[in-house]
Structure 1
Amino acid sequence: MQDETGNPDKGAPRQRVLLVTGMLGAGKTTALRVLEDLGWEIVDNFPIRLLDGLLESTPSADHGGAAPLAIGFDSRTRGFDPTRVISQVKALEGREDIELNTLFLDCSSQELERRYNETRRRHALASDTPVATGIRAEREMLAPLRRWAELLIDTSGYTSNDLQRVIRERFAPATGEAMTVTVSSFGFSRGMPPVADLVFDMRFLDNPHWDPTLRPQTGQDPDVGDYIRKDPAFDEAFTRIRDLLLLLLPRYRAQGKAYVHIAFGCTGGRHRSVFTAEQVALALREEGFSPTLLHRNLGSRAADLLEGGLRREK
C-alpha cells in the first residue's frame, strides 16, 4: 500500500516473505508443502534474480493480498549465486512494506548421502562423480547463505513428519489457542518417534493385519475401524485415554506449554494406531481443540515382512 506520494504507507500491514533454501534433500519441498497448507502463497524453483520484480507485483494488504509468501530456491535454480542473493536481501530489508526472512534447511552429509543412495537419485552437482562429491561442492557453495539465514533447521534426525511438525510450530498463524496439539500414529517396528510428550501403545488390541482382507487396508478404512471397535478392550481404553487427555491438555495450557505431541503406536503403524489417532483427534476437535493429525508410517509399504516375522498377536 502506498501513500499519496507513491511511497509505502508506514501504517499498512507488512507483507511477510520467507525465502526457503538449503541443501538438496534436506526437506525444502516438505517445508513448502506444509507452509501452503498453513495458508502461505508458494513459489518454488524461482529464479532468485527476479526477486525484486516478484515483490514489486505482490498485492497490497488492502486488496486482500496479505497472505504470507514463501519463495523456494536451491543450488539447481538457474543463475543461483548465494552472494548475490544476500546482496538482494540486504537491499530489500530497507523496504517498510516487507518483512523478509530466510529459512535454511540443513542436514548432515552422511544422512544426505544415505537418502540419495536409498532413493537412487543423482545429485545435481555430482555429475558422474560419487554423491559425496556433489554434497561437498553444494555445502561449500551454500556456506555464505547458511551463515546469513536467520532461521536454520537441521533435519538430520528428522522424519518427514518431524519436519512437518516443526514447520507448523514455527509458522502456523497465531490463534486464540496458545497451545499447538499434534496427534500422530507410528509403527514400533520402525522406531519410536523422537519427539512425543505422550505415547500410547495400542498393540494390546486385536490386529487387523492377520485378516487377509484387511491387511492391505489402513486404519482410515471403515472395515478396519469396525474390526478394531469390535475388540472388547477398545471402547473402555479409548474412553480412558480421551478423558485423560481432556484432563491434561487444559493443565498443560495453563502451565504455558506451547506444544503437545500425542503419539499412538502399533506394530506397523498402519491399522490400530492410525484408527485410534483419527478417533482421538476427532474427539479433541469436538471439545474445542484444533489438533494437527499426522500418520508417520501410513505411506509405508504394507508391513508384511515386519509383522509377519514377529510373534503372531492375538
Structure 2
Amino acid sequence: MRFVIVTGMSGAGKSTALKMLEDVGYYCVDNLPISLISKFAELTYAPSSEITKVALGVDIRSGQALGELEQVLEGMVVAGFTYEVLFLDAEDEVLVKRYKETRRSHPLSGGGRVDKGIQEERRKLEFLKKQADYIIDTSQLLTRELKAELDKIFVQNQEFKNLVITILSFGFKYGIPSDSDLVFDVRFLPNPYYIDELKPKTGNDKEVQEYVMGFDVSHEFLNKLVEMLKFLIPNYIIEGKNQLVISIGCTGGKHRSVTLANKLYEALGNSVEYGLKIEHRDIEKDAVRKA
C-alpha cells in the first residue's frame, strides 16, 4: 500500500500533480476534510480493500482544521499506517505571477494583496514542509518536467534528490539570468570568437572545447570552482534548499561559458545527493540576430 499526501503552496501545481498521479493508477481524493483522513486511511488499508495506491490532496483550503492534521498524522503512525508527503513549492514571485495570469484570488488574501496571502500560507504549511519526503520546486519546471519527476518517484521508485542543480550558460550582453543563485564570469578566458574557424562553432563542439581548455588558467578556474561547489552543496542540502542555479557567463553565451558549463556538469555528475541539469540559454542567439 502506498499512501501519498500531496500538499504545498497554492499555485505551485498540486492539482496538476494529482491529475498526473491519477493517470498512473493512483486513487486520488482532493480536499478531504481533515477529520475524515484517519477513517479514509483505515478503509484503504483494510485487507478487503482493492486500492493499492492513494494520493490525498491537502492544502490551505482546509481552513482552521489544518492545525489538526499534525495530530491526525501522528495517529496514523501509531495505528501502523505509513504515508509519504509530497510538497509542491515555488518562489513567491512566481506564485504572484501565476495568480495574476489566472486572475484568481489567493485563499488567504481576503481580497487584498496576493503576496500577503502567500506569506501567511507559508507560515501555516511550514510543519508539513518539514515533514515532507519529497519537495519539488516548480518555479522553473515545465509540465513535462514535473511529470518526469513524479514518474521517477511514484512509478519507477527511484531515489529522490530534493536538491536539483541547474548549470546554466549565458551571454552577458543578453542579461544575467534572473533566477541565478551563483554567477561566474569567464570573460577573462581566451576567446575562440576571434579564431576564424572557431567563430561559427559553439562550446558543444570538440574544437572549441579543446581551445578553451588548452590554457592552464581554464583548468585552474574549473578546479577551484568544483572545489568550492563541493563545499557549498552539502551545506545547501542541510539548509533545505531544493533549487540551485549556477550561471556561467561570457560575452555572447556561445563559446567559453558553454564549454565551462559542460565541464562543470561532467565534474559534478553522478552524485547520489542531488539532481543535475544543464542548459545553454543563449547558445543560438548570435545566429538568430545575424539572420
1:73 is aligned to: 58
- The 5 A counterparts of 1:144-293 are 144-173=127-156
Cα distance between partner residues in 1 of 2:12 and 2:157? 27
The answer as to whether partners of 2:11 and 2:98 remain within 8 angstroms in 1 is yes
Cα distance between partner residues in 2 of 1:64 and 1:80? 28
1:38 is aligned to: 24
Query: 1:147 is matched by which residue type in structure 2?
Result: K
The answer as to whether partners of 1:49 and 1:79 remain within 8 angstroms in 2 is no
The answer as to whether partners of 1:125 and 1:135 remain within 8 angstroms in 2 is yes
Aligned counterpart for 1:135 among listed residues 118, 136, 139: 118
3-state DSSP of counterpart to 1:157: coil
The offset of 1:20, in angstroms, is 0.7
Cα distance between partner residues in 2 of 1:59 and 1:81? 23
2:103 is aligned to: 120
Percent identical residues: 34
Aligned counterpart for 2:78 among listed residues 79, 94, 119: 94
Unaligned runs of 5+ in 2: 159-269, 278-287
Q: CA RMSD in A?
A: 3.6
TM-score, normalization by structure 2: 0.52
The answer as to whether partners of 1:30 and 1:164 remain within 8 angstroms in 2 is no
Aligned counterpart for 1:85 among listed residues 56, 61, 69: 69
Query: Can you list the C-alpha shifts for 1:116-169, whole angstroms capped at 9, x where unaligned?
Result: 111111111112211111111111111121112222111111122221111111
In the superposition, relative to structure 1, how do residues 173 and 99 fare at CA in structure 2: closer, same or farther (>3 Å)? Answer: farther
The offset of 1:94, in angstroms, is 3.0
The offset of 1:103, in angstroms, is 1.1
In the superposition, relative to structure 1, how do residues 137 and 37 fare at CA in structure 2: closer, same or farther (>3 Å)? Answer: same
Unaligned runs of 5+ in 1: 1-14, 176-254, 262-309
1:58 is aligned to: 44
2:187 is aligned to: none
Compare the two structures and name the one with the higher helix fraction.
2
3-state DSSP of counterpart to 2:60: coil
Aligned residues: 175
The offset of 1:59, in angstroms, is 5.6
Query: 1:89 is matched by which residue type in structure 2?
Result: L
The answer as to whether partners of 1:48 and 1:85 remain within 8 angstroms in 2 is yes
3-state DSSP of counterpart to 1:112: helix
TM-score, normalization by structure 1: 0.48
In the superposition, relative to structure 1, how do residues 79 and 46 fare at CA in structure 2: closer, same or farther (>3 Å)? Answer: farther
The answer as to whether partners of 1:47 and 1:78 remain within 8 angstroms in 2 is no
3-state DSSP of counterpart to 1:42: strand
Matching of residue 103 in structure 1 with residue 77 in structure 2: no
Cα distance between partner residues in 2 of 1:173 and 1:146? 23
Cα distance between partner residues in 2 of 1:60 and 1:148? 25
Matching of residue 29 in structure 1 with residue 15 in structure 2: yes
